[in-house]
Amino acid sequence: MINLRAVDLNLLPVFEAVYEERNMTRAANRLAMSQPAVSNAVARLRGALGDELFVAGRRGAAVTPMAEEVYPRVKAALDAVRHGLSETREFVPMESERRFSIGTLYGPGIALGRAVIAWLEKEAPRLSWRFVQINQREDATAGLRDGRLDFLIDYAAPASRDFQSGAMFDDELVVAVSARHPRIGATLSRKEFLAERHIVHCSLRVPGSLAQIEGALGNRTLDVAIEVREPLELPLTVAGTFFVAVCNRRIAEPWVRLLGLRLLPLPFRVPAIKGYLVWHASRQRDVGHKWVREGALKIARALG
């Protein structure tokens, strides 16, 4: 296996040019380099890769089997870099073939994603998309940092200057209960809420967490029956019980009819909730990224 640490990546365009031109002088003219400089670069590549790569012949430089094997990979990598750099300066939606990945920590991201995809299929049909459901915020922010994710839909605005965000949608907390609940009807009082057993989310960072609810109730302790790991589990778990759960309306609402749920207003006040589109600050000036995020934000806001 080739040790890439031993290869100066600046030599790869030289390899590409000599392979395609089959002539050191023509490769030098193409690269705006001197012929000795090209020869020196090829010599360094030979030493790093342990192969002649190019052998002088009557009709120019003949390539070795190793050069034949390496060329397609080098060509693909250089084309990807050139394409990526050009996209940061110029972006034509109808022609671009870029790939974007968007992560979502909670259910509303998938619903919004369908609307965004429909818009992209019309305005930028050659783009490709991947939506990823992520369980941990740490995994999501790591993905934004290393480029595995281009965007993240989250209920928390980023605190770090490494990230930028735009408000995407409004949401609210509601109480989800079974429509067959024997004690709860069309309304729910504070006293009734405290008397019931609860299903809660284990994370302190999720809207409607146990700490937030108990804080809003004057630090009254809830009787917790079930603790779940994912916000989407709240309405799903409520459906098979006579417990109650505080959850985001956008997460619970799609399940009301299917699971036989009733969504009731909270009998206490909590801060308003917003959903955000988040991206890494390094993408701020990427014109293709900017076009997509501005369109996604516009669509989300139009959907309310």
- Residues 231-271: pLDDT tens digits? 888 999 999 899 999 998 988 988 999 999 999 999 999 98
Together in a domain, 187 and 149: no
Which of 47-51, 88-92, 108-112 ranks highest by mean pLDDT?
47-51
Q: Assess if residue 26 is contained within a domain.
A: yes
**136 vs 220: CA distance, rounded Å:** 28
- Percentage of the chain beyond pLDDT 70 is 90
Q: Assess if residue 144 is contained within a domain.
A: yes
Q: Is the pLDDT of residue 108 over 80?
A: no
Q: How confident is the model at residue 141 (pLDDT cuts 50, 70, 90)?
A: confident
In DSSP terms, 279 is beta-bridged to: 164
Of 89, 112, 127, the residue that ends a domain is: 89
Together in a domain, 113 and 157: yes
Together in a domain, 262 and 297: no
The CATH code of the domain that includes 80 is 1.10.10.10
**93 vs 32: CA distance, rounded Å:** 33
Could you report the per-residue pLDDT of 54-79, keeping only the tens digit for each? 888 777 788 888 888 888 888 777 76
Together in a domain, 250 and 279: no
Q: Is the pLDDT of residue 4 over 60?
A: no
Least confident among 4-13, 31-40, 215-224: 4-13
Together in a domain, 10 and 140: no
Q: Assess if residue 189 is contained within a domain.
A: yes
Together in a domain, 147 and 289: yes
**176 vs 238: CA distance, rounded Å:** 7
Q: Is the pLDDT of residue 83 over 70?
A: no
Mean pLDDT across the chain: 85
Say if residues 150 and 113 touch (Cβ distance below 8 Å).
no
Residue 1 is predicted with a pLDDT of: 47
Residue 32 is predicted with a pLDDT of: 83
Taking alpha carbons only, the member of 298, 271, 302, 297 closest to residue 171 is 271
CB within 8 A of 186, min separation 6: which ones?
Answer: 262, 264
Q: What is the mean pLDDT of residues 26-48?
A: 87
Together in a domain, 155 and 278: yes
Together in a domain, 249 and 290: no
Q: 183: helix, coil or strand?
A: coil
Together in a domain, 25 and 64: yes
Q: Region of 218 please: left (phi>0), alpha (psi -120 to 50) or beta.
A: left
Q: Is the pLDDT of residue 111 over 70?
A: no
Residue 85 is predicted with a pLDDT of: 58
Residue 243 is predicted with a pLDDT of: 97
Higher pLDDT, 146 or 218: 218
Of 89, 108, 130, the residue that ends a domain is: 89
- The C-alpha angle with vertex 157 and arms to 155 and 161, in degrees rounded to 5, equals 150
Q: Which tokens belong to 180?
A: 């067959």
Residue 146 is predicted with a pLDDT of: 75
Q: Assess if residue 208 is contained within a domain.
A: yes
Domain count, the chain: 3
Q: Assess if residue 133 is contained within a domain.
A: yes
Higher pLDDT, 74 or 175: 175
Looking up tokens 């067959």 gives 180
Together in a domain, 79 and 128: no
Together in a domain, 105 and 184: no
The CATH code of the domain that includes 118 is 3.40.190.10
Q: Give the range of the structural domain holding residue 52, as residue numbers without chain letter.
A: 4-89
Q: What is the mean pLDDT of residues 267-295?
A: 89
**288 vs 92: CA distance, rounded Å:** 8
Together in a domain, 137 and 62: no
Q: Assess if residue 94 is contained within a domain.
A: no
Taking alpha carbons only, the member of 86, 57, 70, 83 closest to residue 14 is 70
